[in-house]
Amino acid sequence: MSEFPPSTVLQCGRHSLDLSRPRVMGILNATPDSFSDGGRFNAIDAALAHAEHMLAEGAAIIDVGGESTRPGASPVSLQEELDRVAPLVERLVNELDVLVSVDTSCPEVMREVTALGAGMLNDVRSLRRPGALDAAAASQLPVCVMHMQGEPGDMQRDPHYDVPVEDAVTTFLAERVAACETAGISRDRLIVDPGFGFAKTLEHNLRLLKRMDALAHLELPVLVGMSRKSLIGKVLGRTVEERLPGGLALATLAVERGARIIRVHDVGPCVDAVNMTWAVLQEGENQ
Ligand code: 9MG
């Protein structure tokens, strides 16, 4: 088992997140599919109820996103992203007092959700958009930087790496960590993510998970997101709705390899899988 990082408490606005053991992050989409019936206000009520359910099931963080990052997804305008995310973040913070992470690459959204009380930023583009490093630095919040080549729209077009994928990912993340530190984001605010499913073939994804210990060199908490992703569908021949058992196997392996935040749709089953795995890993550790 990997021993990184030994113990870390992240200060997430007015919430503390103890990552001395793995935690589960519940996914809350604020994309058009979730607004498809009943209009925006009903959808926000439904999203709040879903967040409450995920918290009851043991989620430590709720990750809100207004832009679909699925392969081939088209970009959304800044105004649309703000309209989708801001009212939801505001109500989550005020009504549920929950640690809210916001999945965004836009500096304007980062600033707005920080003002509304979000506790973490999650950027699949690793703060590479103009102004994103400065906005994240000013927020004082922890930030998750993720590995991706290209953009969600084109990332799955023949992804290729000149070195083993785990080395490419580690080198990329080390560069982004250095850029963050230069911009004034200290290491105690950083989380890294290998970006499963982002610009990676099935073989890249499987190898990356098997060799995830390579990320230990970074000495930072690791977040992973594999829930319902196509790598499970490709191996098992399952539809999106049938991918939970495969996802639990992947979550278990990720925890065994040192991941400290597991980003998932199905919180309850994942909390059990994570806690069971952790109990085995901890056996005899404190004697
Ligand atoms: C928004 N989003 C979708 N998949 C993700 C993943 O694997 N990691 C992170 N950090 N965010 C993701």
pLDDT tens-digit readout, 9-68: 999 999 999 999 999 999 999 976 654 444 555 789 999 999 999 999 999 999 999 998
| pLDDT for residue 38 | 46
C-alpha 115 to ligand 1 mean position (Å): 23
Q: What are phi and psi of 126, to 5 degrees?
A: 60, 35
What separation in Å is there between the alpha carbon of 285 and the centre of ligand 1?
Answer: 31
Q: What order do you get walking across the sheet with 61-65 strand by strand?
A: 190-193, 143-146, 120-123, 100-103, 61-65, 23-29, 261-264, 223-225
* Pocket, ligand 1, Cβ cutoff 6 A: 65, 69, 103, 122, 124, 144, 146, 193, 195-196, 223, 225, 263
Whether 263 is catalytic: yes
Residue 262: what residue type? I
| pLDDT confidence of residue 37 | 45
Q: What is the pLDDT of residue 36?
A: 44
Mean pLDDT of the residues in the chain = 93
Nearest atom in ligand 1 to 197's CA: 7
Which protein residue has the closest C-alpha to ligand 1 atom 11?
Answer: 124
CATH (one of 3.20.20.20, 3.10.20.600, 3.30.565.10, 3.40.640.10) for 9-285: 3.20.20.20
What pTM was estimated for this model as a whole? 0.94
> Mean per-residue pLDDT for 143-164?
85
Confidence tier at 5 by pLDDT (50, 70, 90): low
Determine how β-strand 15-18 pairs with β-strand 9-12: antiparallel
* DSSP helix, strand, coil percent of the chain (3-state; round to 5): 45, 15, 35
Whether 210 sits among the annotated catalytic residues: the reply is: no
* Beta-carbon count within 10 A of 7 CB: 8
Select from 64, 69, 105, 270 the residue to mutate for testing ligand 1; criterion: most ligand atoms less than 8 Å from CB.
Answer: 69
Substitution site in 67, 76, 122, 220 for ligand 1 pocket (most atoms within 8 Å of beta carbon): 122
- Ligand 1 pocket mutation pick from 124, 125, 208, 243 by most atoms within 8 angstroms of CB: 124
Residue 130 has pLDDT above 70, yes or no: yes
pLDDT band at 77 (very low <50, low <70, confident <90, very high): very high
pLDDT recorded at residue 60: 98
Give residue 4's pLDDT band: very low, low, confident or very high (50, 70, 90): low
Which residues, 6 or more positions from 286, have their beta carbon under 8 angstroms from its beta carbon? none
Domain ranges of the chain: 9-285
Distance 63 CA to ligand 1 centre (A): 9
Per the CB < 8 A criterion, the answer to whether 193 and 211 are in contact is no
